Chains A and B, each alone.
Chain A
Amino acid sequence: MTEIPVFGLYIFVLAMFAGFEVITKVPPTLHTPLMSGSNAISGISIIGALLIAGQADGTLQTALGLLAVILATINVVGGFLVTDRMLRMFKRKS
């Protein structure tokens, strides 16, 4: 297993370009929710956390895996909910 994960690098670079493109003109009104929403997406590490916790062997690995799942879940659940709570308030009243 010495080969370099070229396929992964392709994906990484293309996704970076997609990331640069999607956020271009953002009105200042949305800076806070956008930051909080993209923060929730970065909680994607929850997938990695599930994988290591599900395959953990021994007390230390299990403990660290558990901690990883807790931290990532807080990031994901808290992040999406708080963003929704903010965006729900943005209304035009007449």
Chain B
Amino acid sequence: MAANLSYLVASGLFIIGLKQLSSPVTARRGNTLAAVGMFLAVVVTLLDQEIVSFGTILVGVVIGSAVGAAAAHWVKMTAMPQMVAVFNGFGGGASALIAWVEFTRLAEGSPGVSAAIAVAVVLSLLIGAVTLSGSFVAFGKLQEWLPTAPVRYPLQHPLNLLIFLGLLAFAVYLIGGAAGMGNLMAITGLSLLLGVLLVLPIGGADMPIVVSLLNSYSGLAGAAAGFVVGSNILIIAGALVGASGIILTHIMCRAMNRSLANVVFGGFGTGTKGEDVPGATGTVREASAEEAAIVLGYARSVIFVPGYGLAVSQAQHQLRELADLLERRGAKVRYAIHPVAGRMPGHMNVLLAEANVSYDKLCDLEEINPEFSRTEVAVVVGSNDVVNPSARDVPDSPIYGMPILNVDQADHVLVLKRSLKPGFSGADNPLFHKDKTMLLFGDAQDSLTKLGQEVKAL
């Protein structure tokens, strides 16, 4: 009784925590409330349930806490998407293991495994294992250990369908009661393979959506594991995350102007369409750091547009230092944050917050777009697709319709970029060929440092 009431309190804390996490003022408290709920649930489980041996648990919790805390403490803010992917994979893996162990335990005793439990076992194994392997592929792509471009393989869709049918056959076998170790292994193995094959063909730029979707799956795997072990708190929290993850995935798709089906089955970002865009090829005006600093140093108003390149180069601190210099010279400095700037939605806000930029200087798309026409210099730091005017002006463009920052309306545009390589969409960017645009090639961190030195020397 006391245990069930405590689980109820924990469930309430999860719901309130999630709610508070969606507003900037209360977010930190919301996270703490959810953590308190989790702690309560763990303590109650240890005190009240039919747990006989604590040795294994103690070892596991100590190792897990040490690894988790160390990872959370040392991870670079730029690597946050990969970190979330890995944590998420672990959660899914745990659910699959729970189903496996509980199944073997029930199968050894009497009265054996009921069909209902067997269904839950199959679902936990399937969703948990797909989450585990899929998250690790997503991690590999975000970390650039795996190719970030979509990986195509022959007969992609028929192969996945075949695997799915195979899974279904083994599942029916298991639920029918004709189960053995081999059956569990087959389901787990095929599910792991399916996770890899489903995520490999998806491009690096879409990984945040994939991670968000897999997060939803890990919740559902937890709920299924809840049915296996007969724990309501697992069902509740799992369903909560499953549902909120679907909503979050939907919000992210909308911010990137993609449909979920298009992300999963698309093959967007293969870089073939971009070469056909007419008028996109032309000369570019390359500037030295000194020339760029002259334009920048005497501007009265500057808007920085940080993007993926800034995140990769971890140049957020150098950016803030340059912005401080310009402010001391009397310029009005703001930051334009595209909803999907960085490596995942909202990532740029985290990076700039880390560099101590006040969040009221971070302007979102609707707020900043009317301001570009009244701005002397727009500085694009490692963004590409989100400032591509084709998305607004060229209906044939692969990114047409995506909301963009109207950088081309500023008096001068300074673009800091590593190379003229197209962005993730593969579309060439006419902004780079405009007369008012200057390009400063190089790593964002180096370029920003040099610009700072040159501005100081003015």
What's the dominant secondary structure at chain B's contact region?
A: helix
CB of B49 closer than 8 Å to a CB of A = yes
Q: Is the CB of B98 within 8 A of A11?
A: no
Q: Is A89 touching B350 in the complex (CB atoms < 8 A)?
A: yes
- Closest residue of chain B to A46 (Cβ to Cβ) is B42
B100 at the interface (CB under 8 A from A): yes
Q: Whose C-beta in chain B lies nearest to the C-beta of A79?
A: B87
A80 nearest CB neighbor, chain B only: B35
Shortest beta-carbon distance, A29 to chain B, in Å?
Answer: 5
- Residues of A contacting B232 with CB < 8 Å? 8, 11
Does B218 lie at the interface of the complex (its beta carbon under 8 Å from any beta carbon of A)? yes
From A1, A73, A80, A93, give the contact of B31 (CB < 8 A). Answer: A80
Interface residues of B in 201-251 (CB under 8 A from A): 211-212, 215, 218-219, 221-223, 225-248, 251
The reply to whether B24 and A38 contact each other, CB–CB distance below 8 Å, is no
Q: Is the CB of A29 within 8 A of B362?
A: yes
Contact in complex: B22, A82 (CB < 8 Å): no
Contact status of A93 and B65, CB under 8 A, knowing A4-B116, A53-B56, A71-B93: no
Distance A33 CA – B348 CA, assembled complex (angstroms)? 12
A70 to B353, CA, bound (A): 32
A41-B116 in contact (CB<8A)? no
B277 CB to nearest chain A CB (Å): 28
Are B38's CB and A44's CB within 8 A? yes
**Complexed CA–CA distance, A57 and B181 (Å):** 16
List of A residues within 8 angstroms of B14 by Cβ: 41
Please pick, from A8, A20, A27, A92, the residue contacting B226 in the complex, using a CB distance under 8 A.
A8
Interface string of B50-90 (1 = CB under 8 A from A): 11111011011101110111011101010011011001101
Would you call B349 and A22 a contact (CB within 8 A)?
Answer: no
B97 at the interface (CB under 8 A from A): yes
Instruction: Report chain A residues within 8 Å CB of B230.
Output: 5, 8
Q: How far is the CA of A31 from the CA of B21 in the complex (A)?
A: 10
A:19-62 near B, CB below 8 Å: 19-20, 22-57, 60-62
For the complex, give the distance between the alpha carbons of A15 and B8 in Å. 12
Main secondary structure of the interface of A (DSSP, over half): helix
Q: How far is the CA of A43 from the CA of B15 in the complex (A)?
A: 15
Query: Is the pair B42, A50 in contact by a Cβ cutoff of 8 Å?
Result: yes
Q: Taking the nearest CB of chain B, how far is it from the CB of A6, in angstroms?
A: 10
Chain B residues within 8 Å of A65, by CB: 56, 60, 97, 101
In the complex where A40-B38, A46-B42, A47-B45 touch, is A74 in contact with B71 (Cβ < 8 A)?
yes
CA separation between A44 and B358, bound complex, in Å?
Answer: 34
Contact at B18–A38, with CB atoms within 8 Å? Answer: yes
Q: Are B68 and A78 in contact (CB under 8 A)?
A: yes
| Minimum CB distance partner of B99 in chain A | A48
Please give, as numbers and ranges, the residues of chain B lying within 8 Å of A44 by CB-CB distance: 38, 41, 222, 233-234, 237-238, 241
Taking the closest CB of chain A, its distance from the CB of B146, in whole angstroms, is 21
Which one, B289-297, B338-346, B373-381, B429-437, is touching chain A? Answer: B338-346
CB pair A61 B105 closer than 8 Å: yes
A39 CB to closest chain B CB (Å) equals 5
- Minimum CB–CB distance from A92 to chain B (whole Å) comes to 6
With known contacts A33-B31, A52-B105, A62-B56, A26–B98 Cβ distance under 8 A: no
Chain A residues, CB < 8 A from B302: none
Q: What residues of B have a CB within 8 angstroms of the CB of A22 in the complex?
A: 15, 18-19, 22, 240, 244
User: What chain B residues lie within 8 Å of A8 (beta carbons)?
Assistant: 226-227, 230, 232, 235
Which listed residue, B102, B215, B229, B349, touches A42 by the CB 8 Å rule? B215
Q: Which residues of B contact A26 (CB under 8 A)?
A: 22, 248, 251
Q: Does the CB pair B63–A68 fall under 8 Å?
A: no
Contact of B346 with A29 in the complex, beta carbons under 8 Å: yes
How far is A54 from B94 in the complex, measured between Cα atoms in Å?
Answer: 15
In the bound complex, do residue A73 and residue B60 qualify as a contact, i.e. CB atoms below 8 Å apart? Answer: yes
Which of B27, B69, B117, B225 sits near A48, CB closer than 8 Å?
Answer: B225
Most chain-A Cβ atoms within 10 A of its Cβ — which of B18, B98, B111, B239? B98
Judge if B360 is at the interface, Cβ distance under 8 Å: yes
B94 and A49 form a contact (CB under 8 A): yes
Verify if B419 is at the interface (C-beta below 8 Å from A).
no
Q: Which residues of B contact A64 (CB under 8 A)?
A: 97, 100-101
Q: Are A91 and B358 neighbours in the complex by a CB distance under 8 Å?
A: yes
B34 in the interface (beta carbon within 8 A): yes
Residues of B within 8 A of A84 (CB): 28, 31-32, 35
Measured CA separation A92–B45 after assembly (Å): 40
- Give the one of B38, B64, B232 with max A CB within 10 A: B64
Contacts of A24 in B (CB 8 A): 22, 247
The reply to whether A45 and B222 contact each other, CB–CB distance below 8 Å, is: yes
The 7 closest A-B pairs by CB, nearest first: A73-B64, A19-B243, A69-B60, A54-B51, A78-B68, A31-B346, A77-B68
Query: Would you mind naming 6 contact pairs between A and B with Cβ atoms under 8 Å apart?
Result: A26-B248, A39-B91, A41-B14, A55-B105, A77-B72, A78-B68
User: Apart from A8-B232, A36-B87, A78-B87, what 13 extra A-B contacts exist at CB < 8 Å?
Assistant: A12-B236, A19-B18, A20-B247, A28-B349, A30-B27, A35-B212, A35-B344, A47-B233, A50-B45, A52-B102, A68-B60, A73-B65, A77-B69
